[in-house]
Structures are given as C-alpha cells and as structure tokens.
Chain A
Amino acid sequence: KAGVTQTPRYLIKTRGQQVTLSCSPISGHRSVSWYQQTPGQGLQFLFEYFSETQRNKGNFPGRFSGRQFSNSRSEMNVSTLELGDSALYLCASSLSAGQQPQHFGDGTRLSIL
C-alpha cells in the first residue's frame, strides 16, 4: 500500500513568487492535513481538508491556501513568498475527518532566496 506522497521533495523560490505543493493521500483516506515545520516555530497546523472542503484552519495569513480534489489529492498554495516561508511542509492523511494523522509524507522542503 503506497504511503502519503508529496511532490516535489525540494523547491527553491525567490521572494514574491508563488508556489504550489501537492499531496496524494493513502488510498481510501479522505482527510488531508498540512503542517509547516521550521526550526524556530516547530510544527504548526496549516489546514485540514475533507470531502473537498476545508474543515479546519490554523493561524496563518491568507497567502496560505489549499484545496482538495474529488480523488482526495490536495494542493496547498503560498503566494507572495517571504523568506520566513522557508520550511518543511508536511502532509498527512487520515481515513476520516478529525482523526489524528497516522501517516505523514516525507515533506516538501521549500527554500526562499
């Protein structure tokens, strides 16, 4: 059974650009949640999607957005990138909404120059 797949693994962008990250959950999992991991702030919840609807949102500016498709794949988008957006972005999937994530992807490492 394939795990949570995140693409790309590494990404380098410059300030002001925008970026889209992709997450494919485990087959049959319908909930996808996103986390940002930085040395300074640690692991912080971004948002959770279930059945193509944002179910929960963390305390991040509106530059951070996401969506979920009918096949449960999810994307997150960050616009007008800032240096502080450099982080490891982790995606996790669960069978249903509100469950603690059991399976995480290996993340996308985003570096802003």
Chain B
Amino acid sequence: AQSVTQLGSHVSVSEGALVLLRCNYSSSVPPYLFWYVQYPNQGLQLLLKYTTGATLVKGINGFEAEFKKSETSFHLTKPSAHMSDAAEYFCAVRGDTDKLIFGTGTRLQVFP
C-alpha cells in the first residue's frame, strides 16, 4: 500500500525567502511521486514528477524536489518565494493500481 504525509498544513514565508514544503511517502513498490499546485477556485496543476532516474527534479515556476529513498522523502523547494506562489500544494504517490494518492495539502502564504 502507498501513502503520503505532508508535514505542516500551513507554511508562511516572506517574499524572497526559501520555500520548503515537506512530503514523506510510504510505498511497497518503487514510487512515482508528484507535486501539484492548486490556486483558489481552480483545479490542480502538475508542478513536477519523479519516476526514475535523476533524483533532483526540476519543475515549473522555479520549483524543484529531491527524491531521497533513504529518508522516504520528496520535499519541494524554491529558492526565492514570490507573492504569486501563494496556493495550496499537494504531494502525491502513484499507487500499485495506478491510482494517485494525495497528501492532505500544505497552504503556502507569502508575505511582502
């Protein structure tokens, strides 16, 4: 079985500061991992994904995530936050039946 845990339901940063959103996963098979972003009143947008290969994955809008098998983590980072990054972020793992299993989400606030 697969599961995802997102640590921190709310994260607040100042504009220009580092963004770090935490995600830990559990998977009985090699995981496929994803980060999605959801802006208010919108659907989800894929930020980045890890399937196989390079463990540092770069996504859109300057975000990146690193797959660390030893730590079962897939944390999302961005060196410098912008006001436009304020949104809810979801980590997800693809289950062994191809279903996406989502974490509970982290709401990112960016202060000027």
Which residue numbers of A lie inside 8 Å of B, CB to CB? Answer: 4, 6, 33, 35, 42-45, 48, 55-56, 58, 90-92, 97-98, 100-107
Q: How large is the interface on B (under 10, 10 to 19, 20 to 34, 35 or more residues)?
A: 20 to 34
Whether B98 lies near A56 (C-beta < 8 A) is yes
Whether A107 lies near B97 (C-beta < 8 A) is no
Q: Which residues of B contact A102 (CB under 8 A)?
A: 46
Which residue numbers of B lie inside 8 Å of A, CB to CB? Answer: 32, 34, 41-46, 49, 90, 92, 94, 97-105
Known contacts A42-B104, A106-B41; is-contact A100 B46 (Cβ 8 Å): yes
Q: Provide the main secondary structure of the chain A interface.
A: strand
Q: Which residues of B contact A97 (CB under 8 A)?
A: 98
8 of the cross-chain contacts (CB-CB < 8 Å) are A33-B100, A43-B92, A45-B100, A97-B98, A101-B100, A104-B45, A105-B43, A107-B42
Residue of B nearest to A58 (CB): B99
CA distance A100 to B99 in the complex (A): 8
16 further A-B contacts with Cβ under 8 Å, apart from A56-B97, A100-B100, are: A42-B103, A43-B105, A44-B102, A48-B99, A58-B99, A90-B43, A90-B44, A92-B43, A92-B44, A97-B98, A100-B32, A101-B46, A102-B46, A105-B43, A106-B41, A107-B42
Specify which of A4, A45, A58, A105 lies most central, judged by the most chain B CB atoms within 10 Å of its CB: A45
Whether A100 lies near B34 (C-beta < 8 A) is yes
Residue of B nearest to A47 (CB): B99
CA distance A103 to B32 in the complex (A): 17
* Nearest CB on A from B90, distance (A): 7
Q: Which 6 pairs of residues, A with B, have the shortest CB-CB distance?
A: A104-B43, A43-B102, A98-B98, A104-B44, A45-B99, A102-B46
- B90 CB contact (under 8 Å) in A43, A92, A105, A107: A43
Residue of B nearest to A41 (CB): B104
Residue of A nearest to B51 (CB): A100
* Nearest CB on B from A67, distance (A): 19
